[in-house]
Amino acid sequence: MTDASSITPVGLDDGYAYTKVALPNGRLIVIPSRARVGRSGVTWIHQGQQRIFEYETEGTRYSVGAVDGEPTHFEGYPFSGMNRVIVQHVLQQAGLGGQSLHAVSGLPVSAFYLQDGNQRHKTLEKKRMSLKQSVQPIDGRLPAGIAFHEVIPEALAAWYDDVIVEQKGGAALDEDRLAVPTAIVDIGGRTTDFVVVKDQGVIHGSSGSLQCGMLDVKQQVANGIQERFDLETLGEQLVTRAVEKQIVRLHGKDYDIAPLVKSAKQQVVERIHAETRRQLGLGVELDRILFVGGGTVALAEDIANWFPNQVIAEHPAFANARGMLKYLRYVCEASDAA
């Protein structure tokens, strides 16, 4: 039996756009979900400046880090080798190499539940087992090993973060938040998730997933740049910087693309707003509507006045990772994680 004191618990939000980790000491780590199959093809002049790392899983080698990543928004991503190496990389960045970990991660609400509210047991087991498979760093570093892995719905993780309040020596439930009907709107990379919790039950008629998120903004901006400058291909890192800075650098010259980014965001905002109204109506019967996820940060101004009773979570991009860690530490049965 493993010595519990040698186990490190982690909340692991392994999203399509960014992968985030929450640790018990309060540290929060984030990296882009960026990798591609094959060797990096780069020799680092100064090892301390290394920004691409190689890993192997199931006999396939991947490059992770400052590479032009292959798209993550494909159906099998949560169970893929690409997902595993990105997770291993963020664990290495968190200094967890060589350690045995207990982890909780998530899946979008629609991937977690069937329409009748039953869990997709085969899908959950596939996700649980995938991250427990071996991933070997090529440079001799010791791998971080996931000995126990549980999966929960992503937006529901943010609800756990909201109602579980950590105190010195343990945690307590915020009875006021626990008692009232609450909606979570989680704007992520590939999906926007909705969960309504009332009397500690998930209301499935108002919960689900929309296949729309910040990666759609990125794709529309990429298409616009290619059309404007008559380009056949664009590097993924260049597009990411273009969205963040609203400037694209081509042939050593900067071009303003702020109108293009604004238009792409507006289209995504309109889709998310329409689905939010469909799922939650005007939110009249809800006490709180909590916005979380990386998209909430990027679209904060656009979503500011959707409901009179809405709240943006503290550090919203990390709400799921924090909630996953709290679920692992305070909700999971001790026997489950032993």
- On the 0-12 / 13-18 / 19+ scale of CB atoms within 10 A, 200 is exposed
Give the tens place of pLDDT for each residue, 201-212: 999 999 999 999
Asked if residue 113 belongs to a domain, the reply is yes
Residue 303 domain-assigned (yes or no): no
pLDDT per position as a tens digit, 71-84? 998 889 999 999 99
**Total count of domains within the chain:** 1
Indicate whether 163 belongs to any domain: yes
Phi/psi at 71 (nearest 5 deg)? -55, 140
Structural domain of residue 78, as residue ranges?
Answer: 4-167+318-331
Residue 138, domain member (yes or no): yes
Q: Quote the tokens at residue 141.
A: 């570093």
The residue to which tokens 């780590």 are assigned: 29
263: amino acid identity, one letter: S
Enter the tokens of residue 199: 């009397």
SS3 sequence, 199-263? CCEECHHHCEEECCCHHHHHHHHHHHHHHHHCCCCCCHHHHHHHHHHCEEEECCEEEECHHHHHH
Mean pLDDT of 147-158: 96
pTM of the entire predicted model: 0.93
236 within domain boundaries: no
> How many residues are listed for the chain in this entry?
338
In this predicted structure, what is the pLDDT of residue 228?
Answer: 95
State pLDDT tens for residues 271-305.
999 999 999 999 999 999 999 999 999 999 999 99
Q: Per the domain annotation, does 197 fall within a domain? A: no
Residue 292 counted as domain residue: no
Q: The domain spanning residue 29 has which CATH number?
A: 3.30.420.40
In a domain, 50, yes or no: yes
